[in-house]
């Protein structure tokens, strides 16, 4: 599944939030969207998961206009892990994940063995098979996030959109989640807060600033110390990760933190 955004602009209350963004995610490619708060990452993603219609430009999936598809058809092409994933009260984890099968079902059709298998597989894959019959409200924040990811996986769509998927997760869960989504073979478009994670996991990064693309390309080419300082206002060190050898970005405040620990007398 190939995702193309061509000249996409988006407005909220007539205010231009996303301005003429063009980007491409090839089949199986992981594209990370990074940028400071308010740079338009979430708003741009909303145009891809059809919650906000672009004021200009076009979103294409394998060349077809996403906004001209019917809702169920669109859902069979792209799944979403939203930023503010809510756990509705009174639902078990399996019932939440089963909602992801909506686009594969007719209104009155009974659940088939294929549906149940998809739900079970998705829950197992995120390590939550044990929680199938638990109420989601009894699970921890990290566990709920896994259940919501399982719902997106049960949709069986070739494109997965993630809006800050590692929010609210402990550091181990963050890395496991990124490893997992990378291993799925899906086309991925994810807004990420953590530059280091974007550099380590993404094939391409797109840097947004004030709703415009400030830079895009492979992380090693785009995320240079000078560019990071220009966009994010922090000092940065870029080098191979001491443990993994992947690109590694360490950042520091430009003003308040001294280079070396100092002692005062």
Partner 1 sequence: MTDTLTLPPRTGPTPSRRPHLISGPATGLFLAALLAGLVAALVVGISIGSVNLPLGQVWGVVWAHLTGRGAQADPLLSQVVWEIRTPRALLAALSGAGLAVAGVALQALVRNPLADPYVLGVSSAASLGAVLVPALGGTALAGAFGVTGAAFAAAMLSALLVYVLSQRSGRLLDSWLVLTGVAVGYLCAAATTFIQLQLNPGELQGMMFWLMGSVAGASWPDLGVPALLIAVCVAWLALQVRALNALMAGEEAAIAIGVPVAALRIGLLVAGSLLTATVVSVVGGVGFIGLMIPHMARFVVGADHRRVLPVSLLAGAVFLVLVDLAARIADRPNELPVGIFTTGLGVPFFLWLLRRRVKGGGDAA
Binding interface with partner 1 (CB under 8 A)? 12-13, 28, 46, 49-53, 71-76, 78-80, 82, 84-92, 95-96, 98-100, 102-103, 105, 107-108, 124-131, 133-135, 137-138, 143, 146, 148, 151-152, 155, 161, 176-177, 179-180, 183-185
Comparing CB distances to partner 1, the nearer of 97 and 195 is 97
Q: Which is nearer to partner 1, 158 or 215 (CB)?
A: 158
What tokens appear for 132 in the block? 């199938």
Q: How many CB atoms lie within 10 A of CB 133?
A: 9
Among 92, 135, 134, 99, which residue's Cα sits nearest to residue 115?
99
Q: How far, in Å, CA of 100 to CA of 98, rounded?
A: 5
CB of 87 to partner 1, least distance (A): 8
Mutual orientation of helices 141-154 and 171-183 as an angle, nearest 10°? 10
Min separation Cβ 133 and partner 1, Å: 5
Q: H-type helices in 13-130, by residue range?
A: 41-48, 71-77, 93-98, 113-125
Considering the complex, what minimum distance in angstroms separates the CB of residue 12 from partner 1? 6
Q: Is the CB of 113 or the CB of 264 nearer to partner 1?
A: 113
Task: Kindly state the DSSP code that residue 84 receives in the 8-state scheme.
Answer: T
For partner 1, the closer CB: 174 or 213:
174
Residue 172 half-sphere exposure toward CB, CA atoms < 13 A: 1
Smallest gap from residue 106 Cβ to partner 1 (A):
9
Q: Are strands 30-34 and 187-191 parallel, antiparallel or unpaired?
A: parallel
Inter-helix orientation angle 113-125/141-154, to 10°? 140
Between 85 and 215, CB nearer to partner 1? 85
Q: How far is the CB of 107 from partner 1 (least distance, A)?
A: 4
CB of 43 to partner 1, least distance (A): 11
Q: Which is nearer to partner 1, 66 or 222 (CB)?
A: 66
């Amino acid at each position: 599944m190939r995702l193309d955004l061509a000249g996409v602009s988006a407005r909220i209350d007539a205010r231009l939030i996303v301005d003429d963004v063009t980007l491409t995610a090839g089949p199986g490619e992981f594209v990370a969207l990074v940028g400071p708060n308010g740079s338009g990452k979430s708003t741009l993603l909303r145009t891809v998961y059809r919650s906000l219609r672009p004021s200009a430009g076009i979103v294409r999936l394998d060349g077809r206009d996403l906004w001209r598809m019917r809702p169920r058809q669109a859902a069979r092409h792209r799944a979403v892990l939203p930023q503010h994933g809510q756990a509705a009260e009174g639902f078990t984890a399996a019932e939440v994940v089963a909602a992801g099968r909506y686009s594969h079902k007719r209104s009155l059709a009974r659940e088939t063995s294929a549906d149940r298998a998809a739900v079970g597989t998705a829950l197992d894959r995120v390590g939550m098979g044990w929680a199938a019959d638990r109420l989601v409200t009894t699970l921890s924040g990290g566990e709920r996030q896994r259940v919501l990811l399982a719902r997106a996986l049960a949709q069986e769509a070739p494109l997965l959109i993630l809006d800050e998927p590692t929010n609210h997760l402990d550091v181990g869960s963050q890395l496991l989640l990124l490893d997992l989504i990378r291993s799925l073979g899906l086309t991925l478009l994810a807004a990420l807060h953590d530059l280091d994670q974007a550099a380590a996991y993404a094939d391409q990064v797109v840097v947004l600033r004030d709703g415009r693309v400030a830079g895009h390309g492979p992380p090693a080419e785009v995320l240079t110390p000078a560019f990071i300082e220009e966009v994010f206002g922090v000092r940065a060190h870029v080098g191979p990760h001491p443990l993994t050898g992947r690109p590694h970005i360490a950042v520091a405040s430009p003003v308040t933190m001294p280079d070396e620990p100092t002692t005062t007398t």
